[in-house]
Structure 1
């Protein structure tokens, strides 16, 4: 069997299935899911008054809130916090913080690779996978973009688009992940 990488990093459009893919990888290979955006979420909760639901769920991120007299989508708030970190400390600060927060020998899956951060993860020896879902289009926010050139492979998460049940679509995604991670498919 092929050696399973210590780190697996996922990129893709919002709602493409990165979180589900990370869960599957954790279940099969034991990789802990590293929350790349945890520092941003903590700031939003502790200092901006947002809720866990708003910063941790897809539904919550779509909510609009008024912050300091302006209406914002929660996803936009999180993205702008990340932009501020990246503007001050460089484009790889979010993966660097997430990487540094992990124990050195621990395996992990990083589910929120943005912009050019796939290169950072490749340089760390990670397997970088793009999750592609025909039901998930590009975000209107620039901070949700990613460069697919850094991905080692694409995983087509199209089970729901093909009419599979949620359970069967998850199984379909699991098979595709296993095939790529274990080197059965180039």
Structure 2
């Protein structure tokens, strides 16, 4: 294997990075939201497929860690299978199966979901360089949109994800 190939991300690392970026999370935020113990630096190693020691060495995630990382960033078991990680996909399926058995009110976000939402809003606010006052205005508009979309669903004007506000 040539040196250039060794520094390429693994398919599962590329998947995790893409899903994390799509959610606007840094590796540190994603690592903090993951229920297994992982630090931002280790998260980066798994995404890149190697550690940054000299000389660089291949870095692979154990199945349990990868499954929880995938869950945190919303990657599916099918995507893990496509990336060649059936072992992590099986664990992720079990994680999802366990969540399906929880009796959580459909209108209540879990602590993890609340934290993820707060991180996404904070990232968006930073990206738009919003002042606190502008952020309050954006919240007010978001609340109004949620009300309108719920009213539209009730009147049969559209579909939304079951149990979640649009």
TM-score (normalizing by structure 1):
0.27
Q: Which is greater in Rg?
A: 2
More relative contact order in 1 or in 2 (CA 8 Å, sep 6+)?
A: 1
Higher helix share: 2
TM-score (normalizing by structure 2):
0.29
Higher strand share: 1
